[in-house]
Amino acid sequence: MEKILEATQVILHEATEELPPLVRLENWEHYHEFAKHKLRGDAYGHPNFPDGYKVITSRLQWISEGACLAQTQSRLYALGRKA
């Protein structure tokens, strides 16, 4: 069992090294534009905007509110507090 746990930790570590840092959305909500589902909220850690900048994401691919994650066409977001 210990070897399985150790192998799992190695795999997770390698997988997360390849992921770019997540942008966090705070005060987020669902947003519809031309029949496309998107999110809007305050972004933190975005490479193109200062922290707290109000953004509208690209088209939403999937969302898991339970896991606090959302995938859009351009990036994976960590979901903070809802609006």
- For the segment 34-82, what is each residue's pLDDT rounded down to a tens digit? 889 999 999 999 999 999 999 999 999 999 888 789 999 989 999 999 9
Instruction: For 23-33, write each residue's pLDDT tens digit.
Output: 999 999 999 88
Domain boundaries, the chain: 21-79
Tokens of 75: 């990036």
Following CA atoms 52, 34, 83, 66 in sequence, which dihedral angle do they give, to the nearest 10 degrees? -100
The model carries a pTM of 0.72
Buried-exposed string 2-25: b where 16+ CB fall within 10 A, e elsewhere: eeeeeeeeeeeeeeeeeeeeebbb
DSSP element (H, E) containing 45: none
Predicted confidence at residue 55, as pLDDT, reads: 96
Place of tokens 């200062």: 50
